[in-house]
Amino acid sequence: MSPEALNSFFALSIGFALAGALTSGYQAMAQRPAGFGLLQEGAVPTTFAAVPFLVFAAPFIIMRNTLRGAKIERRRFEFVMMATIIAGFWSLMSGTFFLMTLRAAGVLV
């Protein structure tokens, strides 16, 4: 496995782990699952605070909604596969950003 592929896999894993941790933390604090409905509360400070949260929590929310929809609504395989690819790419980008931030802060070398 090349170093670039290993780095991408690590970023993908970190992105999904970060999304899961954020979403689980939100659910523990708010006693309800996180979702994109957080953006529909109007122009209040909590809506603006939800944007950065959703940027990093979105891969988990997308996969949770997709898998529930596949089970409950019997969605087609193509839809589930496309949502998985989107969530994976989003996770790769958020994981890459998180790792770059850790490197810039001097936590990782």
pLDDT in tens, 30-84: 999 999 888 887 777 778 888 999 999 999 999 999 988 878 888 888 988 999 9
pLDDT in tens, 94-104: 999 999 999 99
In whole angstroms, what is the distance from residue 83 CA to residue 69 CA?
Answer: 11
pTM: 0.85
> Does residue 29 have a pLDDT over 80?
yes
- Dihedral (C-alpha) 109, 60, 19, 93: value to the nearest 10 degrees? 40
E-state strands within the chain: none
